[in-house]
Amino acid sequence: MTSDTHKPDAHEAPTVPSWVEIISADGHPLTYIIRGGQLPDRTTFLTPPEFKQQVGYVTYPAGGVIARHMHVPLHRHLIGTSEVLVVLKGHAWIDVYDDSHGLVASRELRAGDVMLMVGGGHGFRIIEDTVFLEIKQGPYEGLEEKERF
Return the closest-CA partner of residue 27 out of 79, 98, 85: 98
Using one digit for the tens of pLDDT, what is the confidence trace for 98-141? Answer: 999 999 999 999 999 999 999 999 999 999 999 999 998 877 77
Q: Which range marks the domain in which residue 74 is found?
A: 20-136
Residue 74 lies in a domain: yes
Q: Is the pLDDT of residue 3 over 80?
A: no
Residue 85 lies in a domain: yes
Residue 142 lies in a domain: no
Return the closest-CA partner of residue 149 out of 124, 123, 118, 113: 123
Cβ pair 45, 55 in contact under 8 A:
yes
Q: How many CB atoms lie within 10 A of CB 44?
A: 18
Q: How far apart are CA 108 and CA 118, in angstroms?
A: 19
Residue 141 lies in a domain: no
Q: Could you give the number of structural domains in the chain?
A: 1
Using one digit for the tens of pLDDT, what is the confidence trace for 14-49? Answer: 778 899 999 999 999 999 999 999 999 999 999 998
Q: How far apart are CA 39 and CA 48, in angstroms?
A: 19
Residue 146 lies in a domain: no
Residue 11 lies in a domain: no
Which pLDDT score, from 0 to 100, does residue 1 have? 44
Residue 102 lies in a domain: yes
Residue 4 lies in a domain: no
Using one digit for the tens of pLDDT, what is the confidence trace for 69-84? Answer: 999 998 888 888 889 9
